[in-house]
Amino acid sequence: MWLIPLCRYAIMLTAFGTRLIAMSTEPIELTAFTPGQRLDKLIAARLEGFSRTQIQTLIKDGLVMVDGNPAKPGIKLKGGEQVCVTLPQTADAIIQPENLPLNVVYEDDDLAVIDKAAGMVVHPAVGNESGTLVNAMIARWPQIAEIEDPDGRMGIVHRLDKGTSGLILVAKNMDALENLMGQFQDRTVEKTYIALLERTPRTATGHIDAPIARDPKQRKRLAVVRSGKLAITDFSVIDDDFQGGQALVTVRLHTGRTHQIRVHMAFIGCPVVGDTVYGFRKQRVRLKRLFLHAAALSFDHPATGERLHFESDLPPGLQNVMAKLRH
């Protein structure tokens, strides 16, 4: 039995704005709140994955404190209060090993490279407590659950969105995890994706250097924001022979921001096909996933220093989509 560490959030409300602080992560700046806003509405809007009803239950159970005191869901905030939300779901949740199919491209005593299918969530979270990549990993490699990582990464070196398929790197021990994460921080890991864009970019190749942060207007999204974190993406068009004007591109990430490819491609007016968050409001191609695939991954082995390179073919379903778009 493996316990997920307790996760606590504190939302700081000031006259200038709102800050959501999560343990083990850096603060996330939020937009200014509206005076008189209900407590339950405020929290529900800022804790992704929780409905307003769930938030009201947390408040009624005494798990939400305003300036250190219990509160009612309908209380209206004036500003300057400190709101602390405790999420018992993560404290009591147990990550159960599950014998789920995994396409393991490579493995040794230190690491594994997995070709993740689209639709699989990487790490358990509220609303996705089972059926995740981590559930499958600890069934296959129980030693991963014993890694004493304060961030609770469970061997996950980097993440892929649920709707993204392709190569993901997993560490089997703490030494390997620290080494591989260091390579990502030093930007020596090479990650190449294949994506189908709704429009053909103006140039055959492109270099996007645009910082990313929370969208100040829609807090559940990310966006290019002047004060955001450094984000650099290169792309190259490899095929634009589609009747709808789409373009198949290779994308290389030099940084690893959440939703980076999706945000940057939308920023240049060429969103990823299947992206209902950053893409067109009315999707032109019927696709239940993102047309985004992690196709290549290169890094140094944490123990031997040998440079390793892996590739993954585009899934048949995405190849079929392209074939239909040519007719």
State how many domains the chain has: 3
Q: Supply the CATH number for residue 299's domain.
A: 3.30.2350.10
Q: Which domain holds residue 23?
A: 2-92
The pLDDT of residue 62 is: 78
The pLDDT of residue 29 is: 31
Per-residue burial over 203-217, b = 16 or more CB atoms within 10 Å of its CB, e = otherwise: eeebebebbbbbbee
Same domain, 261 and 307: yes
The pLDDT of residue 34 is: 60
Instruction: Count CB atoms within 10 A of the CB of residue 22.
Output: 15
3-state secondary structure of 197: strand
Round the CA-based radius of gyration of the chain to a whole number and report it.
21
Same domain, 107 and 227: no
Same domain, 176 and 196: no
Same domain, 173 and 193: no
Same domain, 151 and 203: no
User: Of 66, 92, 118, which closes a domain?
Assistant: 92
Same domain, 203 and 322: yes
DSSP for 61-124, please give it: TT-EEETTEE--TTPBP-SS-EEEEEEHHHHH-EE--------EEEE-SSEEEEEEPTT--SS-
Same domain, 194 and 318: yes
3-state secondary structure of 310: strand
Q: Which residues are catalytic?
A: 161
Same domain, 310 and 198: yes
User: Of 186, 209, 242, which closes a domain?
Assistant: 186
The pLDDT of residue 241 is: 93
Query: Are 166 and 160 within 8 A, CB to CB?
Result: yes
The pLDDT of residue 7 is: 38
Same domain, 200 and 321: yes
Per-residue pLDDT of the chain (327 residues; tens, 9 = 90+): 333 233 333 333 332 233 333 333 322 233 335 677 788 877 777 766 666 677 777 788 777 878 777 888 788 887 777 777 776 544 345 688 999 999 999 999 999 999 999 999 998 876 677 899 999 999 999 999 888 877 778 899 998 999 999 999 999 999 999 999 999 999 999 999 999 999 999 999 999 999 999 888 887 789 999 999 999 999 999 999 999 999 999 999 999 899 999 999 999 999 999 999 999 888 899 898 999 999 999 999 999 999 999 999 999 999 999 999 987
Q: Supply the CATH number for residue 39's domain.
A: 3.10.290.10
Reduced to 3 DSSP states, what percent helix, strand and coil does the chain have, rounded to the nearest 5?
20, 30, 50
Same domain, 140 and 78: no
User: Of 141, 161, 186, which closes a domain?
Assistant: 186
Same domain, 179 and 266: no
The pLDDT of residue 42 is: 76
Distances (CA, A) of 98 to 136, 138, 139, 320, 326: 5, 8, 6, 31, 40
Same domain, 210 and 312: yes
